[in-house]
Structure 1
């Protein structure tokens, strides 16, 4: 009798453990697939996991002013949801949107992408010049700029050393729109941050410009073959009509 009671208690314990593990697994699965959507007033949007959240604009502005980041205007920033501090800690990503000062509609994607590529290369040079305080930030290595013709984007990965010891992965991913460029700047810890790269790839994959603001090369031109087919049909119909009349007269 005592053995049966012990067995019953053990089974109850096992069932509870299984239920708890199942619940945790379901919650983890929900958070891995559930996403939010960021919609910008600059006519673009993208989805991001619930494990990320928007950085308080005041915190972002204060960080930029303290020269901890490059001198730039950022529209918005994101950090991990479990980061409750009033400072920006790695990993995080910041977004810049720049309206084109030239007419993108008159340029091919290749020409526009090469302009962005040149801009990225010049930024790399700035790390090696007096523009950047090397006691705070030092360029360790960098990859060549990649142009993605399919997704109309330009990207580059840099490895920088911050405050003398900490190495950071800095990924720049620029989407070329019809009237401007949107750059997603990812800052990841060299050790733990690598595990987040698949999430960042999904964020990039979800990025879209609003209709009318997408890259000019992605806008489908009006179909001209419809008119051509109509003219061909009219011509064939005319030939058949006169052929019928001709043979009809011949029989008469």
Structure 2
């Protein structure tokens, strides 16, 4: 994958300061994440010159336990959450009115904190089989968690239900057949997103990414007391802003996240 992107990543040796950043991020994970990662995260590493931000991969099943490895781009250790989130969000737009701008106010914690929350949720998801649909008596039957999480939103792991697909926000580059928006479409995009149950454009990629993004933004705002606010401006004047975690459609889903905090 890396060679196809024209890049040759190399192993990154963490400095003492970087080790502190990593340790601090693990320390603030939700209780369930901490327990599951101790058992299921076999290893993690950092690479320089890595094209994507992170990659969570199953590596082996040992004594019936699924084990995972997470690879991180080392550069994120020197970015804060706002810097990294805005860098990622800019990839959703190409061309258009140069006087328009999208910015996300997401605080000054290390970007690694956000990314570890996100990737750690994938490990929890896979280890506990949260977002899976099993076959019972020859018929597909979702488990209790995914039945509640996907209800009215997802038909399957990467297909949205009819209730939410009629929106410009569901046509981003993260969706099959999606595209990069023009920057002057930004207000319509985020106005549309504010009416969906998603906290970010990336949430629409699959129900796995939906869960990881929802949990990450929820934990960041509620437990780490950080902002997460989208602002669309034109000529330096704010035209539209909102906080995804406070939208009515997102709020309806938050009780499902108690699962990650009620267990220890």
Is TM more than 0.5 here? no
Give the TM-score taking structure 1 as reference length: 0.23
The structure with more strand, counted as a fraction of residues: 1
Select the structure of larger CA radius of gyration. 1
